Amino acid sequence: MKKLILFTIILIFIPFFIVKIYGLDTVSEIELNYISNILVRVKRVDTGNIDVIPLEEYIVGVLAGEMPVYFDIEALKAQAVASRSYVLKRIEYNIDNDYDVVDSVLNQVYLDREYLKEAWKDDYVVNINKLTEAVNATSGEYLSYNDEIIDAMFFSTSNGYTEDSNNVFNLSLPYLKSVESHWDSETSTAFHSSKKILLSKFYELLGLNYNKKLNYEVVEKSDTNRNIKLSINGTEISARDMYNKLGLKSTDFYMVQDGEYVIIYMTGYGHGVGMSQYGALGMALDGYSYEEILNYYYNGTLIKKIKN
């Protein structure tokens, strides 16, 4: 009887040890679908080098840099199509220039596979496969309006509404109008934030004379409650300038003086134009497909596919 039990245990565990010894349980990387030979010229901010990267490979790296890998797959698909549209538009714009995009937030954050292998370590294959699935599922797809590739802007977190592009970039585009985005308050930890700045530094960054008493009023607001223009101690300044110079997360903010400090309370994260990424996550969790997410944030657009 003991011999029978021992024999049974051996039969159970031998396959386990064979798998471990020979690495048969190793998950392989999924291959990318290349439906076009489009190349993206990416300028690396750190080195100044220009890397030439196949389009679909570039989109995988942008997904890694622009959207958390734990996001629902439908949100990742929506981001893939938006990012592909964005870079195709930049390729059009920069046809006579040395490069199409930089690898930072000035365009889209791009992370290459060597960086991701080091950052993700044991999770690399699982993570890269999830991103590759999102890219393959949308292979070659981009957004079009009136038969033209759209300028597919996106950002992290809305304040409850996206913003009209005209209020931010002085660019009126029919597919970049304000829409409600109520999901963000539940999905994003950056929905509310604050920043404390020394009063003297506050004035210095804005190029204003020091005044121990901070007086400000909102001169103009958008319909989405974002500031457009403010008056600080009698000097008018655009909220966009403050956003850039003070490193704010949003133009939906109010300020409180606390002795020698200014505390700025903000709602939302990013310029607010186009697709809210955390809004896309909320929609995906509510069961919306990536096509529905894209149609919601880029109203009136069509999803088209690159022709070979």
pLDDT digits (tens, 9 = 90+) for 5-33: 444 444 444 444 444 444 445 679 999 98
pLDDT digits (tens, 9 = 90+) for 289-304: 999 999 999 999 999 9
pLDDT at 69 over 60: yes
CB 258 within 8 A of CB 161: no
What span, in angstroms and rounded, lies between the C-alpha atoms of 257 and 197?
10
Q: Tell which wins on pLDDT, 192 or 7.
A: 192
pLDDT (average), residues 146-157:
98
Task: Indicate the residue type of 13.
Answer: F
What single string gives the DSSP state of each residue in 183-222?
A: THHHH-TTSEEEEEEEHHHHHHHHT----SS--EEEEEE-
CB 277 within 8 A of CB 83: no
